Structure 1
């Protein structure tokens, strides 16, 4: 079976959504907080975090979850509230809140289905998926009680 598309699907590198100065700040934050992550890897993480935020904003009410690495980028962005708020308004048209799940709350479909739903939302929004950064999902339950950035997990 062949499916004909009316228009070609283009893929956008999500790093282009972020001002280069902001990208540099976020990259620096990630490499400072996570010295095991190189600057080039941190930059890739920032790009995937931008795509995650944008895709999340386009899928209200649908549970999308970042990978552990992309979660580092999202948390770095959240710490830069002015930059984060501006990005959300410009790219999504509204603020995208970080809403951690309760510790005993699981996504009904399971982690693999949630990962696939998240990456499908990326692709539907036209963003390139950096597969190497998506081996597993973050366990983000109440920040500083279970997030990948949590001191409890270090």
Structure 2
């Protein structure tokens, strides 16, 4: 028997004014239209929320989603408030470098499957299937090797 997962709306995880600000920052910083910026920020929130809820899964964003993550991280007041509300602590972002041990890098496929299982809709265009071995974060963006929680 298959259990249905309730679809979750990433917009419900941030205040409307924060949503608007982050979308506008993505538009400004990456030259995207509103539709793509909203999709990017929605997938960013889905990724962050899921990474907090599933610390047992090594997760990392696709490059397109990482653009939204970087914009959000740089808006430190809003990002820190989000982290405290969702995780109770700052959610560190430690990018993975190509020369680092690839076997320790999170699987993009597993990241997408985990986000989907958490009830968020996946934007397949932003989670480019050809990037299946991409990783941008250490320990699912839930902890830092230098800072702790």
Q: TM-score range by the shorter chain?
A: 0.7 to 0.9
Unaligned runs of 5+ in 2: 138-149
In the alignment, which of 21, 25, 34 is matched to residue 25 of structure 1? 21
Unaligned runs of 5+ in 1: 142-154
65 and 4 in structure 1: CA distance in 2 versus 1, 3 angstrom threshold: closer
Secondary structure of the structure 2 residue equivalent to 1:99: coil
Question: Equivalent residue for 1:127?
Answer: 120
- Rounded to whole Å, the distance in 2 between the matches of 1:89 and 1:124 is 23
Deviation at 1:16, TM superposition (A): 2.3
Q: Which has the higher contact order (CA 8 A, sep 6+)?
A: 2
Q: Which moved more, 1:82-91 or 1:131-140?
A: 131-140
Deviation at 1:93, TM superposition (A): 2.9
Q: Establish whether residue 91 from structure 1 lines up as the match of residue 86 from structure 2.
A: yes
- Rounded to whole Å, the distance in 2 between the matches of 1:42 and 1:139 is 21
118 and 24 in structure 1: CA distance in 2 versus 1, 3 angstrom threshold: same
State the aligned residue count: 134
